[in-house]
């Protein structure tokens, strides 16, 4: 699994004019990509990493402050544009594999005590956020 994590001061996802997920104030916006060999155990490792990642103000984590997370599926994180001008998506897991694993990341975060908002898998989403810092980090588990 691959995740782009942004420390934010508010973020939301809109689908067809409707807000489907939103966090207010300090938190993390997390774009999650799934590849073919990811498992529920991989999802658990990512959730634990996100929950304890000390990137909030004062080197605190979501587990320290109770800050919310907005988790958005993002198959394009496994796009490969090294060759030619059109990315390939071969490394991205197909929807029937990826969707349950993104859901599993969210479920594991919630089991840890996190407030989690989400996008809508497979939908055309408009993601807006205020990057705080700016601060962005790439995670791979």
Name the residues annotated as catalytic: 74-76
Prior bond of 134 cis (ω within 30°): yes
Strand 69-73 relative to strand 116-118: parallel, antiparallel, unpaired?
A: parallel
What is the pairing mode between strands 116-118 and 126-140?
unpaired
Give the strand pairing for 126-140 and 2-15. Answer: antiparallel
């Amino acid at each position: 699994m691959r995740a782009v994590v942004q420390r934010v001061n508010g973020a939301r996802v809109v689908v067809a004019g409707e807000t489907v997920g939103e966090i207010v104030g300090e938190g993390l916006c997390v774009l999650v990509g799934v590849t073919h060999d990811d498992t529920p155990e991989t999802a658990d490792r990512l959730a634990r990493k996100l929950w304890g990642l000390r990137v909030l103000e004062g080197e605190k984590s979501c587990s320290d402050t109770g800050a919310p997370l907005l988790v958005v599926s993002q198959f394009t994180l496994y796009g490969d544009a090294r060759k030619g001008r059109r990315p390939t998506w071969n490394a991205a897991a197909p929807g029937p594999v990826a969707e349950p694993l993104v859901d599993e990341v969210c479920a594991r975060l919630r089991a840890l005590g996190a407030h989690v908002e989400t996008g809508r898998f497979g939908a055309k989403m408009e993601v807006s956020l205020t990057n705080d810092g700016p601060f962005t980090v790439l995670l791979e588990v």
